[in-house]
Amino acid sequence: MSIRLWFIALAHSSLGQFMQNSKWGFAIIETFHLAALALLGGCVLLIDLRLLGVILKNESASVISRDLSRLFLGSLTVMIVSGIALLSEEALKCFASPAFRWKMALLAAAVLFYFTFHRHALRQLGKGLPTLQSRFAGTVSLTLWLGVGIAGRAIGLL
């Protein structure tokens, strides 16, 4: 099954039909999506600014990350689920959108980076001063997540 056919199937699914025909469906789902984005963004900022040594210098980076992990994963889950619902409303538009493709590529890269190198950098840093590795992890993470947001916003502009 080609990716285009998956987008067509999503647009014609019961979820897609509901989102396309509902007066308030898109706005309500978008509200959840944006609230989850705000939570995720806050978690990313706190963790990455600690990796960079800008804030919470006396706190362990791995403890901060552990304390925020449920909030981060919960908001990421809400964003993905609500994102699929939003996608179903305009699936064919998104299929043709370079901004959507960039957003998905950057999202995949940000999530992969978070669960690999980023976590390793957090464990290595502990309560210590920022290292080259932690600064790299914080900078790349912030850049990837910012890119996801910018590309997401660009979907609505095109």
**For position 33, what pLDDT does the model report?**
95
For range 51-80, the mean pLDDT: 92
For range 43-68, the mean pLDDT: 91
Give the model's confidence band at 156: pLDDT under 50 very low, under 70 low, under 90 confident, else very high: confident
For range 135-152, the mean pLDDT: 95
Report the Cα 68 to chain-centroid distance in Å.
15
Whole-number percent of the chain with pLDDT over 70? 99
DSSP labels, 54-119: SS-TTS-HHHHHHHHHHHHHHHHHHHHHHHHHHHHHTHHHHHT-HHHHHHHHHHHHHHHHIIIIIH
Q: Residue 1: pLDDT above 90?
A: no
Which residue segment(s) compose the domain that 66 sits in? 3-157
Q: Based on the structure, what is the number of domains in the chain?
A: 1
Helix (H, G, I), strand (E, B) or coil at 23: coil
Mean pLDDT of the chain: 93
Count of C-beta atoms within a 10 Å radius of residue 135: 16
For range 66-88, the mean pLDDT: 96
- CA atoms 77, 26, 2, 145: torsion sign: negative
